[in-house]
Amino acid sequence: MKTVVSGIRSTGNLHLGNYYGALRNFIRMQENNRCFFFIADYHSLTTHPDPNDLFPHVKSVLTEYLAAGLDPEKSTIFIQSDVPEVVELYLMLNMHAYLGELEKTTSFKDKARKQPQNVNAGLLTYPTLMAADILLHNADEVPVGKDQEQHLEMTRNFAKRFNNFYKVDYFKEPVAYSDGTQMIKIPGLDGSGKMGKSEGNCIYLNDDPKVIEKKVKKALTDAGPTEPNSVKPECIENLFTIMKVVSAPETVAYFDEQWNKCEIRYGDLKKQLAADIIAATDPIRERIREIDANPEILRRAVTLGKEKARESASKTIREVREIMGFRSF
Ligand code: TYM
């Protein structure tokens, strides 16, 4: 049986990128793997969130995890900060993480550009904390979207380096798991890049259907094709990319054909896309309302998760301490 570990930062509500890049695969994988899915609240600290937001953000991600179908009996669902062993492993791995490689990380360079007034050490060592999350449970596979590819590669490097330095064969080198062979990137509705909270271009799982319609209607498009079978510009390709994950293949084929014949009407495409996004996310919204009415469900899930995660984590920490030479009197 494979061990699977993954998490999502608690920065607010989850969007379609989180769902199709990660959460949907969590749900699939929990059926026949040993799964650890957590809410990365320590990771959310890099942007200095208001303390009043921290708990509500954790709560909404947990609610959405369960509403989307994660089952606390099948998976270990926990809050990152409920398992402080991760901080110890983070410290240990940091002793073998080098400034040059951390500074070169794409996510660090992006964030340093976006928040030049707050280039903190947590931001720099974000990949080591993520590696600690994964290695703490010795994962074989990590379901993540394409934007996390580099962090996973660094995790493998840290694992390899630890094994080589201490001459052991202790940590596995975890690989990405994505739906199919390619890692998914859900684009935003603003014509370029990925869907992301800090990009402000998201459709959230708990957006009201009216809001979803409005957002899709406003998505960037061009003046339309002028020649049959032409290459789609990025903003149009993006709408098709989202359509491919939420709509039936016949729907995608229909609009593709309309495009190729230069007969496409973006208004029709957007109406269909919005309807399909709403249909795909409706059951999740319904379940969110049920969970909101019964917060005991959340308490039960994390109490169980914390216990199971700490059991696995403390075993790793005990063994890593032994390997590194810590001894008790
Ligand atoms: P975060 O919170 O930025 O994103 C959570 C997950 O959602 C995926 N994702 C996307 N996938 C496709 N298209 C998008 N537009 C899109 N936006 C987000 C991300 O790839 C990710 O899988 N560092 C992680 C959280 C983390 C983690 C871990 C993940 C902390 N420790 C250990 C796995 C294992 C992150 O920033 O995710």
Q: Is 195 in the pocket of ligand 1 (CB under 6 A)?
A: yes
Spans of the chain, pLDDT less than 50:
none
Q: In what order do the strands lie in the sheet with 141-143?
A: 76-79, 34-40, 3-9, 141-143, 175-177
Could you tell me the distance, in angstroms and rounded to a whole number, from the CA of residue 23 to the centre of ligand 1?
A: 9
Q: How confident is the model at residue 199, as a pLDDT?
A: 85
Could you tell me the distance, in angstroms and rounded to a whole number, from the CA of residue 257 to the centre of ligand 1?
A: 34
Q: How confident is the model at residue 180, as a pLDDT?
A: 66
Could you tell me the distance, in angstroms and rounded to a whole number, from the CA of residue 18 to the centre of ligand 1?
A: 6
Among the listed residues 74, 146, 172, 194, the single catalytic one is 194
User: Residue 175 in contact with residue 141, Cβ under 8 Å?
Assistant: yes
Among the listed residues 111, 185, 215, 270, the single catalytic one is 111
Secondary element (H or E) of residue 25 = helix 24-29
Residue 185: active-site member: no
- 288 exposure class (CB count in 10 Å sphere: 0-12, 13-18, 19+): buried
Q: How confident is the model at residue 193, as a pLDDT?
A: 86
Q: How confident is the model at residue 183, as a pLDDT?
A: 87
pLDDT in tens, 22-58: 999 999 999 999 999 999 999 999 999 999 999 999 9
User: Residue 195 in contact with residue 202, Cβ under 8 Å?
Assistant: yes
